[in-house]
Each structure stands twice: as structure tokens, then as C-alpha cells.
Structure 1
Amino acid sequence: MALSIHGIPNMCVNFVPPTRQQIKEYFSTELAIEHDAWPAETWQDYAAPLIAAGENARRALMGSYGMIPKRRLPEGVRYSTMNARSETLGETRSFRQPWLRGQLCLVPMTGFFEPNYESGRPVRWRIGMESGEPFAVAGLIRAWREADEGVSYSFTQITINADDHPLMRRFHKPDDEKRSLVIVPPGEYDAWLACKDPELARSFLRPFPAALMTAQAAPIAASGPQTASLF
């Protein structure tokens, strides 16, 4: 999704990933690295941790935010794949095959950002859990074969309509459709990751209780996001 003229994202294109210790503590897995090798905030094409299904347990991987990394696009083409609309997952070219093949993942975070217009101008707000704990949203993962025969990963977040959600309907322009990331309850993590039936997977794509969430203004730093890709 594109930025508005005010520099505020029109949909969730920015979130705060967890620390390495939080990944281990809250998601029962850990990355094979010795430190937090990712930025404090994630933007398009930034590297960030994600959770995928393994043979016997969850596995933590690093992935590039956006289903199709910009470096994989033809020269001159600009196309954002950071968010996948639930209504068109089986139709959109960028997401159809990963969705039908059950390439599901969890995107762990401690908060994500949306624009709030209640003051008459766009203000970035941070949304997270009332408990303050990390959480995970539903996503799709894709593997890419690199020139050196290695494998890299990319991911997208799935969104649903939020016109009637008590909290998420407060974001985006007044006349725009309201959208929300799909927050997956911890008790459903493994069922989501293991699901290979697209129709059954849709049963996970539902609103998260607003009473368990919190939101507050979090204006973007004057310098804006860093633009260098780390993946």
C-alpha cells in the first residue's frame, strides 16, 4: 500500500518485531543467530522474524516483508505485496498459489501501526495487546532460490474487513473501508501453521476481541523510516 501525502501509511505497512528472547519465550522456538539482527521497526523489504511449521515443531526464520521483494520485480515496476486481502487470497496472482498450497506462517510482533484521523489529520497509532505481550498475525510465506543455491524467504500479512470492529474501525480515512490484520490466538498457532485446506484456513480469519487490545498515538519520528533493505 502506498503512503499518503502526509507520509502516514494507508494500511498496515509497519510493525514492531519481537526480540530474539521474546521469540523463544512466547513462540517456543528460536532463530539460529546470536543477536537481534533486524531493525526495531519493520517496513517493506526489511528483514524480520517469522514462524513457520517444521517437521516436528515450529521453526523461526528470517523473511523479507512483502510477498514479492522489490529486487524480484522487473525494472521500473512498483508493486506492494505487504498485505493480502482475505477476500481475494484465492484469486490474486501474488498470493493464490501460496494460499492454495497452505504456505501459512505467523508474523510475530509487539505492535503494528495504523493512521487515525479522529483529530482531523492523520496521526500514527500503535496497536497491540492489552497485556503488553507479543502476539502473532496470520501470514503467507514464500521461498526463493538464490543464485548461490541457498534459499531465502518472504512473507505477507493477511487482512480482513474491520468496519464493525470496536477498535480497528477507528483507523484509516473516514470514508475508507476499515481493515485489520488477523491476530491469531496463541492456542491456535499450531493448528494454523499445519492447516493445508484453504477453506478450513478461512475459519481462522476472524476479528480479534477488542477488549484484549490497546491503542495509543505513536507519531512517526521526524526522520521517517530507514530505507535501506537488510535482506
Structure 2
Amino acid sequence: MCSHYEAPSPAALAEAFGVEPYEQLKLNLWPGYFGPFLRMPHDSEELEGSTAGFEVESGSFGLIPGWSKDDKIARRTYNARSETVASKPSFRNAWRHGQHCIIPAAAIYEPDWRSGKAVPTRIERADGEIMGIACLWERWKNADGEIVLSYTMLTINADDHTFMRDYHQVDHEKRMVVILPKGAYRDWLKAAPGESMEFMRQYPADCLSVSNHNDH
């Protein structure tokens, strides 16, 4: 499960996804922090065959369901298991309505337990490009009546993944976030709710690598 990741710089994200530059104060993100996520523009849904670009929004890392009394729940809802997301109260509304989004990440961090101790390890795409992680987004109204957006990373089992099985404790299930191939970005964002599970696939092990710098 991923509770720590690094967002790309606003300039890098704008270049990679063709979105307008935005303000992002922190790139090193934990549950409850605000970061960028990508989705299809609302008006593009009305245009059949639309080639409209992505839109970037800012939201809480950790999904806040509409029924939540406060935003503290984000500390527990930053990951959603694909096997149970359809039935969990926190996530089922977003899943049922196909509220798909993509979290852009320069890298994710996972604990390497092979030494017997948790060693935070920076993991990135082997080609150095931005990761596009499959996520769900939600809207929530706070006590002041303001609309707050939020998101959660979707995860799958990785017990047999030759790269990700080295992470997390030995006696624990191995998990990994759903990293989308670039060619699937638009398909994921436009997919109907009934098609969501088709995207829950492992990212190839040889397309991931441990960064040679770990300074966060």
C-alpha cells in the first residue's frame, strides 16, 4: 500500500499532460496533503469522439466520502483495494459512478523489508517518465459549505510480481498501486463503471526501478 509519493513539478506535469501550469507547494505528499490529479473536462463528456485534453484539479490525498463529518478520514482512505472497493462505504459511491482520475507521480515510496528493517525506497518508472496511477475522486462539503475534492489510489495483489514482492513485511500480503500504461490514460478516464475492473492489472516489473537517489 502506498502512503507516500512524490508529485511531479507543475512544469513537468504541464508538459507531459498538456495542462495549464498550477500552483503546488509540496511535492512530497502524505495522506491528508493536497496534490494534483487529472480527469476529463466535464464538457468533454458531451462531445462524442472528443479529443479534449485533461484537466488538472487539486485534492486531498485520501478520499473523503460525502457522508464524512470531517476530513480526518483521509488518513485511512488513501488506498482502495480493487477487490473490495465496490462494497466499502468510503469508496463505493465513487466506484459506482465511475469517478475515475489519474494521480501523476514522479515516484512512489515503499518499505523494503529484506534487511529485516523497513527501508523507505524510492520507486520510479524505469524510463524516468511520470507515473499515471489509476484512482478514484470524490467531492465533499466541509462545515463552511466549501466543496473539497479528494482522491484514492487503487491497488491490486502483487504476491507474484517479481519487483513489488520485495516490499512490505515478509508475512504480509504484497500490494501495488495500479500504474496505467500511457496508452490507457484516456480510456481509463472515460471508462464506464462496469469496465473499471478491466484496468486493474500489474505494471510490468521491468518497467519499474529503484531510484539512485533517496533524499526525501
- TM tier relative to shorter chain: 0.7 to 0.9
| Corresponding residue of 2:108 | 112
Which of 187, 192, 199 matches 1:191?
Answer: 187
Indicate yes or no: 2:184 matched with 1:168.
no
| Corresponding residue of 2:207 | 212
| Corresponding residue of 1:53 | 40
Aligned-pair identity (%):
35
Which AA in structure 2 matches 1:14?
H
| Corresponding residue of 2:175 | 179
Which AA in structure 2 matches 1:45?
G
Q: 1:166 to 1:141 in 2, by over 3 A?
A: same
Secondary structure at the aligned position of 2:87 is classed as: coil
Distance 1:192 1:77 in 2: 26
Distance 1:80 1:13 in 2: 9
- In the TM superposition, residue 22 of structure 1 has moved relative to its aligned partner by 1.4
Which of 101, 119, 122 matches 1:123?
Answer: 119
Secondary structure at the aligned position of 1:176 is classed as: coil
TM-score (norm 2): 0.87
Distance 1:85 1:131 in 2: 27
**What is the CA RMSD across the aligned residues, in angstroms?**
2.3
| Corresponding residue of 1:226 | none
8 Å Cα contact 1:38-1:47 kept in structure 2? no
Q: 1:109 to 1:68 in 2, by over 3 A?
A: same
8 Å Cα contact 1:123-1:217 kept in structure 2? no
- In the TM superposition, residue 75 of structure 1 has moved relative to its aligned partner by 10
Which AA in structure 2 matches 1:113?
Y
- In the TM superposition, residue 68 of structure 1 has moved relative to its aligned partner by 1.9
TM-score (norm 1): 0.81
- In the TM superposition, residue 160 of structure 1 has moved relative to its aligned partner by 0.2
| Corresponding residue of 2:14 | 24
Distance 1:28 1:208 in 2: 24
Number of aligned pairs? 205
Distance 1:88 1:147 in 2: 30
Indicate yes or no: 2:14 matched with 1:14.
no
8 Å Cα contact 2:155-2:175 kept in structure 1? yes
